[in-house]
Chain A
Amino acid sequence: MPLLWVKLHGMTQDGPTRRDVLKAGATAAAITPVLTQPVLAGAAAPSGAITLLVNGERHQVEVEARVTLLDALRERLALTGTKKGCDRGECGACTVLADGKRIKSCLTLAVMQEGREITTIEGLAEGDELHPMQAAFLKHDAFQCGICTPGQIMSAVACVAEGHAGSDQEVRDWMSGNLCRCSCYPNIVDAIREAAGR
C-alpha cells in the first residue's frame, strides 16, 4: 500500500470560523461549503457592550462581534430555551422572533440585533399561562424529546401571523425549515391548525 504524506493545517470539519463569516457577510454561512481553509489569525476579536432587548427586558452584554445571537442568548443571558442543533441554518432549532419575524438565531450576530425586539420561547407564556400555540403543542403531542420544540413553536407563531396556516399543506410547506428528528410532523400540523383557528 503506497504511503501518502499529508501535511495539513489543523482545521475543524466545520469549515469557516466565525471570523470568516464576518468577512463574508453573516448570511453566507449556510451556503459556505465545508472543508474550506480557515483564516489563520490570532488577534482578539473586537468586542464591546451592546444592549439586547429580549422578551421585553433590556440586557447589557459584553460580546465580541463574532458572537451569534444564539450564543449570546444561550451562553451570556442563560436563556437556554433556544436550542442549537446545527449552528448553520439547517435545522431551525434556534428560531426566535425579531420584531415579530422568525429568524434563525445562529445565522445572525448579536451585534446586528441591537434595537430589535427579540422574542424567545421563554417570552411566550404569560407566567404559567401558556400561549395558545404552546397549549396546542401540548394537547396534540407535537413533540417527543422536545429539543426542536422551542424553535417549532416560535416558527409556528410566525407562520400563523404570516397567514401561512390556511391549510394542512400550507403549514407543511411553511414549517419545513424546522426539522424534527423525533418526527412529530403530523402532530405539529394539527397543533398549528388548531391554534390558527382560535
Chain B
Amino acid sequence: MIVGRPMSRIDGFAKVTGRARYAADQQVRGVLHAYLVMSTVARGRITAVNTAGAEAAPGVIAVFTHLNMPRLTVPAPTHGFFKRYLPMQSPDVHHQGQPVALVVARTLEEAQHAATLVEVAYDARRPQSRLEEVMNEAFVPPPGSDGPNELTRGDVAAGMAQAQVRLEAAFHTPIHHHNPIEPSATQAIWDGDRLTVFESTQSLMNTRHSLSQAFGIPLENVRVLSPFLGGGFGAKGPVWPHTILTAAVARRLRRPVKLVLSRAHTYTSNGHRAETVQSLRLGARRDGRITALEHIVTQQVSRTEQTQFNSSEPTRMLYAIPNLRSVQRVARLDLPAQSFMRSPEAVTAHALECTLDELAYELDLDPIEVRLRNHADVNPEDGRPWGSKYLRECYRIGAERFGWSRRDPRPGSMRDGDMLVGWGMATAAHTAGGRPGSGVTVTLGTDGKATVRSATQDIGTGTYTVMTQIAADVLGLPVYDVSFQLGDSDFPEAYTSGASATVPTVGSGVNLAGTRALERLMALATAAGPLQGLPAARVAAADGYLFDREQPRRRVSHRAVLRAHGRPIEVTLTPPAAPLGYSTGATFAEVRIDPRTGRVHVSRIVGVFDPGRVLNRKTLRSQAIGGAIWAIGFTLSEHTLVDPATARIVNANLSGYLVPVNADVPHIDVSFIDKPDPASAALGARGFGETPMTGVTAAIANAVFHATGRRIRTLPITQDRLL
C-alpha cells in the first residue's frame, strides 16, 4: 500500500527552493500595480472625494472611486460571495476598512504613495461595535447550510427537573483573524472578454462563478489559477470584493493589474471569526449522566449578511444528551462581514468542554469518566450509527500517553518549584465533509503513466501528496508514474478546500475515477496478451503491472497494454456527495503558570485522534500539530480589538495580534487510531483537518483551572485575567 506511507510532500522541493509560485509571484508582462484606500469611518456615506493629488502623482495610471468604478453585478452568496454588496458601487460605507478608492500605477511604490493622496470626506454616523450592547436585538436567522439555528430535542424543563446537579455558565470569545502569512493577492488579465486570474483562493470554483456573475460573462470565459496557496484557514474560501474590483479595473484599463492586500487590509477584507457570547445551562445526575442542556450562542454579524458560522455541532452531536435546546443567534454590528475560520465548531466546543470540566468537579468524577458516561454510541442528530468511531480508545490511549492517572485533581495541588502546574483534558470533535463531490479526470497515457486532474487546491494540507498516493494505489502504479495536478479551473470543478472536505470529496473522486480507468485497462489486458481470457476478478494491479492473482508471474505492464491500445484511457467523473463525517479524539494539556506574573506556558500536549484511515502519517501529523498550536493562540493570546468609539480595528497587524511563535510551543505528542471508516469512499479516510484544534482549547483552559482554581470563561486567558 502506498496510502498510509509517511511520504514527504510532492510539492516540497518547490517549496524549500523558493520555486513554488504563489499568486503574487507569477510574472505577468506589463502588469500594473494597484493599491486600496480604505474607509476610515465605519458607518455613513461618502460626501466628497478628491483624487486630483493622487492622479497627478508620478506613475499613476488611474484612480477609481465609487464615482467611476465600472458597475458590477453582486454575485450570489451560493458561490461564496457572502458579503452581499460590492463596495465602490455607491457612496455607502458599511464598515471601517471598506475599499473607497483603488489606485493603479506603474510601480507598487507609486501606487502605495498615491493612495495616501486620495482625500475622502464622509457623512458619518456613530457606529455600534459592542456585542454586549445589542444582545437585546439578537435574532435567530433563517436556517443556513449547516442546518437549523434553533433545535429542541426532548424536554429541557423535564430534564432539568430530573437533574441532581445544575450548572450555569457564560462564556465570551473574541474576534479572531485568520492571518495566513500570504496576504490575499489577485492578478487579473483580460483577453477580450476572457478573464484569467492568478488568485490566492481556497476555492477556484467560488472565484470562477463569482467573477462570471460579476461581469456577466460565461463561466467558460473565466480561468482561475492557484497552484500554490500560502495558507487560508477560511480567509480565502469565500470570494471577497477586492478580487472583483481588481478584475474590473484591469478590464477598464485593458492592462493586467496586480493587487496584493497589505496585512492591515486583510483585517477588513477577508472575514473573521465573529465574537460570541454563550450561555449554558446543564443538568446531570450524580452518576454523571447529563439530563438536559441548553446552549445559546450569540454572535456578531454585519449589517449586510447574517450567516451563523460558529455552529453548535458539538452540543448537538458529541454527547448523548436526551433533552437539548441549542440556539444560534446573531446580532448586527458595524463591523466587516464575518465568515468561517479554521475549526468553526471550536467556539461552541470550548464552552461545552469547559462546562463538562466544571461538572466533573461538581460530581467529584474524573473528567474522562464524565465524557464516557455521556458517550454518543449513535449519532444523536438522527439516531443512525456512525460509520466508525473509536473515541473510547482515544481517551484510553491518550490518558496513558499523558500519564493522566497520576493527576491529583485538587486545584493548585501540583507544582514544579515556584510554578503552578495544571493538567486538563477535553474531547476533540469536528464534522467533516458532507459536501458535493469533486470532479476528477484520470488519464492513463500510452507511456503507462497517469495524469490526474482536479480543480481543487492544496492549502498546505497535502492535497498534492495524498491524492497522488490514492491514485497510485487505485491504479496500481508507482507514485513517480502518477502526476496529480490541481489549481486550474479548466480542470473538472471541485469543492472548496474548507469544511475538512478535500479528502472526502476529491479523495472519493480520485478513487472512483481511478477505479473506472483501471477497469477499462483490465478489459483491454484480458482481451489479448498474457492475461487473455482471465476474468477481471482474477486480475490485480500493482507497481505498474497487471497480474493474475493466482500466478503473479503471469503479468503485463500498464505501459504494454496502453501502447498496444495506441491511445490513452480517460475517465472524467464527479462522485456522489461525500457523507458527513465526524472525526473525534482526546486531547490533554499541561500548563505551567508563574503565580507572580500570571503568565501561562503550555508545556505539553497529547492528542490521540480517529481520522479513519491515515492516508499519510507525515502530513496528517503536521495538520494535527498545527491545530493544537492554533488552540494555544485561541485560548491564550489571539484577539482582535475594536475601538468602540470608531469601530476601528486597532491591532490590524502581527505585533498586536499575537499568533503563537516557536517559543510558545512545546513538544506535541500526536497519534492516530488509523482504522478505516467504512462509510468513506476515500479509501476509509475521513476529513480531519479541523478536528485537532477543537478539544485542545478547552484542555488548556481546564488545565489553567486545575493549576489555579480560577475558571476564566472569557478568552483569551491573558495575564491580567489571572492576576
Mark interface residues in B653-668 (1 if CB within 8 Å of A CB, else 0): 1110001111101011
Within B210-256, the residues touching A (CB, 8 Å) are 228-233
The answer to whether A184 touches B101 (Cβ under 8 A) is no
Tally the A-B contacts, defined by beta carbons under 8 Å: 260
Assuming A6-B122, A172-B662, is B108 touching A75 (CB within 8 A)? yes
**Would A12 and B228 count as touching, CB distance under 8 A?**
no
Question: Is A100 at the interface (CB under 8 A from chain B)?
Answer: no
A146 interface residue (CB < 8 Å to B): yes
B18 to chain A, nearest CB (A): 2
Give which listed residue, A67, A81, A88, A182, contacts B109 with CB less than 8 A: A67
Given known A-B contacts A18-B109, A121-B17, A13 and B262 have beta carbons under 8 A apart: yes
Distance of A190 Cα from B115 Cα, bound (Å): 44
A64 to B57, CA, bound (A): 14
B460 touches A130 (CB 8 A): no
Can you spell out 25 A-B residue pairs with CB atoms less than 8 angstroms apart?
Answer: A2-B126, A4-B125, A11-B116, A12-B116, A13-B97, A14-B264, A45-B109, A64-B109, A74-B24, A75-B107, A80-B21, A80-B27, A83-B181, A87-B262, A87-B263, A122-B17, A141-B9, A141-B622, A143-B12, A147-B230, A178-B662, A179-B659, A181-B178, A181-B233, A182-B460
**B625 and A42 form a contact (CB under 8 A):** no
Set of chain A residues within 8 Å of B56, measured between Cβ atoms: 42
Contact check, A10 vs B263: say whether CB atoms are below 8 A apart.
no
Contact B623 A144, beta carbon cutoff 8 Å? yes
Interface members, chain A 140-198 (any B CB < 8 Å):
141, 143-150, 153, 171-173, 175-189
- Which of A82, A147, A178 is close to B182, meaning CB atoms less than 8 Å apart? A147
Within 8 A of A (CB), among B33-58: 35-38, 40-41, 44, 53-54, 56-58
Min CB gap B611→A, angstroms: 16
Contact A10 B125 (CB under 8 A): no
Closest residue of B by beta carbon distance from A144? B460
Whether A12 touches B115, Cβ cut-off 8 Å, given contacts A83-B182, A125-B17, is yes
Q: Does any Cβ of A come within 8 Å of B459's Cβ?
A: yes
CB-based contact A146/B260 at 8 Å: no
B12: chain A residues within 8 A (beta carbon): 137-138, 141, 143, 146
Task: Please determine whether B630 and A91 come into contact, CB atoms closer than 8 angstroms.
Answer: no
Give the Cβ gap from B358 to chain A, nearest Cβ, in Å.
29
Distance, CA A173 to CA B621, complexed state (A) = 23
Contacting residue for A42 out of B57, B459, B665, CB 8 A: B57
Closest to B622 in A: A141
Residues from chain B with a CB closer than 8 A to the CB of A1 are: 125-126
Kindly identify, within residues 10 to 26 of chain A, every residue whose CB is under 8 Å from any CB belonging to chain B: 10-14, 17-19
Cα A83 to Cα B231 with chains together (Å): 13
Produce 1/0 per residue, B98-129, CB < 8 A to A. 00010000011100110111111111111000
Chain B 595-652 interface residues, beta-carbon cutoff 8 Å to A: 618-619, 621-623, 625-630, 650, 652
A74 CA / B183 CA spacing, docked (Å): 15
B260-315 interface (Cβ within 8 A of A): 260, 262-265, 267-268
A198 CA / B654 CA spacing, docked (Å): 34
**In the bound complex, what is the Cα–Cα distance between A184 and B11 (angstroms)?**
16
Query: Is chain A's interface secondary structure helix, strand, loop, or mixed overall?
Result: loop
| Contact indicator B18/A12 (Cβ below 8 Å) | no
User: Apart from A71-B109, A90-B654, A183-B628, what 16 extra A-B contacts exist at CB < 8 Å?
Assistant: A8-B41, A11-B40, A11-B116, A45-B113, A74-B24, A120-B18, A134-B17, A138-B13, A138-B16, A141-B622, A143-B15, A145-B228, A147-B180, A172-B663, A182-B622, A183-B665
Distance (whole angstroms) from the CB of A31 to the closest CB of chain B: 9
With contacts A85-B263, A130-B17, A147-B231 known, is A10 near B41, CB below 8 A? no
**Set A122, A141, A180, A188: member contacting B181, Cβ < 8 A:** A180
| A10 with B101: CB separation less than 8 A | yes
Name the B residues within 8 Å of A138 (CB-CB): 8-9, 12-13, 16
A125 CA to B661 CA in the complex, in Å? Answer: 27
Contacts of B504 in A (CB 8 A): none
Chain B residues contacting A7 (CB-CB under 8 Å) are 121-122
Residue of A nearest to B263 (CB): A86
Flag if B41 contacts A6 (CB, 8 Å). Answer: yes
Q: Taking the nearest CB of chain B, how far is it from the CB of A23, in angstroms?
A: 13
C-alpha gap A179/B231 in the complex (Å): 12
Residue B22 is within 8 A (CB to CB) of chain A in the complex:
yes
| Shortest Cβ distance from B97 into A: residue | A13
Q: Is B135 an interface residue (CB 8 A)?
A: no
Closest partner residue, chain A, to B619 (CB atom): A141
Which residues does chain B contribute within 8 Å of A143, judged by CB atoms?
Answer: 12, 15-16, 460
Chain A residue, CB-CB nearest to B51: A10
- B461 within 8 A of partner (CB): yes
Chain B residues within 8 Å of A, Cβ to Cβ: 8-9, 11-22, 24-25, 27, 35-38, 40-41, 44, 53-54, 56-59, 97, 101, 107-109, 112-113, 115-126, 178-183, 228-233, 260, 262-265, 267-268, 459-462, 618-619, 621-623, 625-630, 650, 652-655, 659-663, 665, 667-668
CA distance A187 to B670 in the complex (A): 12
The answer on a CB contact under 8 Å between B118 and A146 is no
Report yes or no: B124 in contact with A4, Cβ–Cβ below 8 A: yes
Instruction: Choose from A88, A135, A181 the contact partner of B231 (Cβ within 8 Å).
Output: A181
A66 within 8 Å of B by Cβ? yes
- Quick one: which of B117, B630, B650, B653 contacts A183, CB cutoff 8 A? B630
Shortest CB distance A139–B (Å): 6
Q: Say how far B644's CB is from chain A's closest CB, in angstroms.
A: 14
Give the docked Cα–Cα distance between A6 and B265 (Å): 21
| Contact between A3 and B123, CB atoms less than 8 A apart | yes
Most buried by A among B8, B18, B229: B18
Least CB separation from A44: chain B residue = B58
B619 partner residues in chain A, CB cutoff 8 A:
141, 144
Q: Which residue of B lies closest to A171 (CB)?
A: B662
Question: Roughly how many angstroms separate A138 CA and B622 CA in the complex, as a whole number?
Answer: 12
CB interface residues, A 60-95, toward B, < 8 Å: 64, 66-67, 71, 74-75, 78-88, 90-91, 93
CA distance A34 to B650 in the complex (A): 8
Taking a contact as CB atoms under 8 Å apart, the answer to whether A6 and B124 are in contact is yes
Tell me the minimal C-beta distance from A183 to chain B in angstroms.
4
A1, B124: Cα distance in complex, Å: 11
Q: What are the residues of chain A within 8 A of B118 when measuring CB–CB? A: 10
Asked if residues B662 and A34 are in contact (CB atoms below 8 Å), the reply is no
Q: Which residues of B contact A144 (CB under 8 A)?
A: 231, 460-462, 619, 622-623, 626
Interface centre among B41, B54, B109, B626 (most CB of A within 10 A): B109
Chain A, Cβ-Cβ closest to B616: A141
Instruction: Determine the chain B residues whose CB is within 8 A of the CB of A130 once the complex forms.
Output: 13, 16-17
CB atoms of A141 and B117 under 8 A apart: no
Closest CB of chain A to B112's CB: distance in Å? 7
A168 to chain B, nearest CB (A): 8
Residues of B close to A177: CB separation below 8 A = 661
Task: Verify A176–B654 contact, CB threshold 8 A.
Answer: no
Closest-CB distance, B99 to chain A (whole angstroms): 11
Say yes or no: A40-B18 contact (C-beta < 8 A), given A90-B653, A145-B180: no
Q: For A184, give the chain B residue with the smallest CB separation.
A: B622
Residue of B nearest to A30 (CB): B655
Also in contact, A139 and B262, with CB within 8 A (given A71-B109, A81-B17, A183-B665): no
* Chain B residue contacts of A12, Cβ below 8 A: 35-38, 112, 115-116, 262, 264
| A186–B667 CB distance below 8 A | yes
The verdict on A145 contacting B460 (CB below 8 Å), with A12-B262, A186-B625 known, is yes
Q: State whether A6 touches B40 (Cβ < 8 A).
A: yes
How far is the CB of B137 from the nearest CB of chain A, in Å?
14
Shortest C-beta distance, A21 to chain B (Å), equals 11
Q: Given that A4-B124, A87-B262, A147-B230 are contacting pairs, would A185 and B653 also be in contact in the complex, using a CB cutoff of 8 Å?
A: no
Residues of A within 8 A of B124 (CB): 3-6
- Contact between A176 and B663 (Cβ–Cβ < 8 Å)? yes
Closest to A150 in B: B18
Residues of B within 8 A of A146 (CB): 11-12, 14-16, 20, 228, 230, 460
Q: How far is the CB of B351 from chain A (nearest CB, A)?
A: 23
